[in-house]
Structure 1
Amino acid sequence: MQLYTPIELNQLQQDLPYLINIMQWVQSFLAKPHPDLGRSGPVCPFVPYAIKSNTIRFAVIHAKNMEPQQLEEMVLCYRDTFLELEPRDRESAINKTILLIFPELDREETSKLVDGVQQKLKPLFVDLGLMIGEFHKHNESPGLHNENFRPLRSPIPMLAIRFMVESDLPFLINADDIDSRIKFLEAYIQRFENEARDQKNLNKACQALALAKEQIQQEKVLHLNCEYAAAK
């Protein structure tokens, strides 16, 4: 049973157009094939099941003039909420998603808040076997099967919270910061080492992790050699 106060109704009335807009985008874009995708099937193969199982949740966040730290704390609260939401069994929960919608942000604020918060919090999500993705009109991230396709462009800026899946490896293996890459790959291996459906991905992650650790060791040796040479 759902009860509303007058204030809640007024807020719902304001938020409803944004919720409808994003739901339509989810149904007409993410859940459908696209000629530029570079593979068969919907843009996001999990979305049709998520719609059918009713496991997508939406929230409208009025973040205008909000400081990044405020938004970080709010997003972390939604992360904790996500973990508590049903379904919680591993097989069903893979289709569970929270979409955080930010309707009032201009391009500069989107870069500062949506992109900035996503980059800042990604390690905290990956460590728990989660992913946090940024969506907005100016997102330049290319598709995995067609570098000219832009699958993360949405009509309104958003952050998406979901569980990590095996096909997320490309988003983790290419981290520019080598320390982050090692942490991401360790989290990926920990999540899938006992239940990987695609052993090739797991092997690739293990190889990439070994190379990253070797690179770290080589950099340490080089640094020590430089210090030794400078001291002579």
Structure 2
Amino acid sequence: MELYTPSEIEQLQQDLPYLIETSQWLKTFLAKPHPDLGRPGPVCPFVPKAIKLDYIRLRVIRSQNLVQQQVINIVLPYLNTFLELEPKEQEDSLNKAILLLFPDISHEDAPRLIDSVQKQLKPLFVESGLMLGEFHKRNQTPGLHNPNFRPLRSPIPMLAIRYMVESDLAFLQSADDLNLRIRYLQAYLKRFEQRFKDETNFKNAHQALALAKLQLKKEPLVMY
């Protein structure tokens, strides 16, 4: 049984439009096929089942006048919150997600603030077996199957937390920073170890890791 104070009800009234808008976006965009996607199926393959099972949780984060570090301090505890959320069983847990909505961040500021927070926290999430995705109207990340498609554009700036899956290799091996790429690939291999469903992912991850280490060795030392 949920009990609300008058101030909580007032806050809920303010947050509800953003929750509804995001819920509709999940159903009408991420859970549906798109002609520009470049492959059959929904934009995000996991969303239809996650919606059906009611495993997606949303939270509105009020961030007006907050600086980047304050936003980071708000987001970071959700790593453990996600891990403690039911379901925890391996198969079912792949369908759960947390969406943190930031309606106070303007579309103009989202590329700077949302992307910066995501970039700083991503290593911690990846090494915990999770993915932290950045969504906003000006996201320029291309689709894997069509470089002209923008799958991470959303009506409200947000950060999304979910478990890492095998198909995330494409995102992890594309990190520009070699040290980060190595960390990501090591975390990826550790997460799946002997549980790879696709042997190609296992081979590609090892090859990408070996290549990144080789490239790092060849980088010239910067002397100060």
Say whether the fold is shared (TM-score over 0.5).
Answer: yes
- Which stretches in structure 2 are left out of the alignment for 5+ residues? none
Q: TM-score, normalised by structure 2?
A: 0.96
**Structure that is richer in helix per residue:** 1
Aligned to 2:20: 20
Say if 2:22 and 2:155, in contact at 8 Å, map to a contact too. yes
| 1:69-84 to 2 correspondences below 5 Å | 69-84=69-84
Identical aligned residues as a percent: 61
Aligned to 1:5: 5
What is the alpha-carbon root mean square deviation over aligned residues? Answer: 1.3
Report the AA paired with residue 57 of structure 2: R
Query: Following the alignment from structure 1 to structure 2, what is the Cα–Cα distance between the partners of residues 78 and 208?
Result: 30
Query: Following the alignment from structure 2 to structure 1, what is the Cα–Cα distance between the partners of residues 38 and 218?
Result: 38
Say if 1:68 and 1:112, in contact at 8 Å, map to a contact too. no
Q: TM-score, normalised by structure 1?
A: 0.93
Asked whether 1:191 is paired with 2:187, we answer no
How much has 1:26 moved relative to structure 2? Answer: 0.1
Query: Following the alignment from structure 1 to structure 2, what is the Cα–Cα distance between the partners of residues 118 and 215?
Result: 25
Asked whether 1:32 is paired with 2:23, we answer no
Q: Deviations over 1:135-183 (max 9, x none)?
A: 0000010000111110000011010000001111111101000000000
Query: Following the alignment from structure 2 to structure 1, what is the Cα–Cα distance between the partners of residues 111 and 31?
Result: 26
Query: Following the alignment from structure 1 to structure 2, what is the Cα–Cα distance between the partners of residues 156 and 135?
Result: 8
Aligned to 1:92: 92
Q: Deviations over 1:121-142 (max 9, x none)?
A: 0001000010000000000100
Larger Cα Rg: Structure 1 or Structure 2?
1
Aligned to 1:208: 208
Secondary structure of 2:109's counterpart equals helix
Q: Deviations over 1:3-27 (max 9, x none)?
A: 1111111110000000000000000
- Which stretches in structure 1 are left out of the alignment for 5+ residues? 228-232
Report the AA paired with residue 7 of structure 1: S
Asked whether 1:134 is paired with 2:134, we answer yes
Aligned to 1:122: 122
How much has 1:201 moved relative to structure 2? Answer: 1.1
Runs of 4+ displaced beyond 2 Å: none
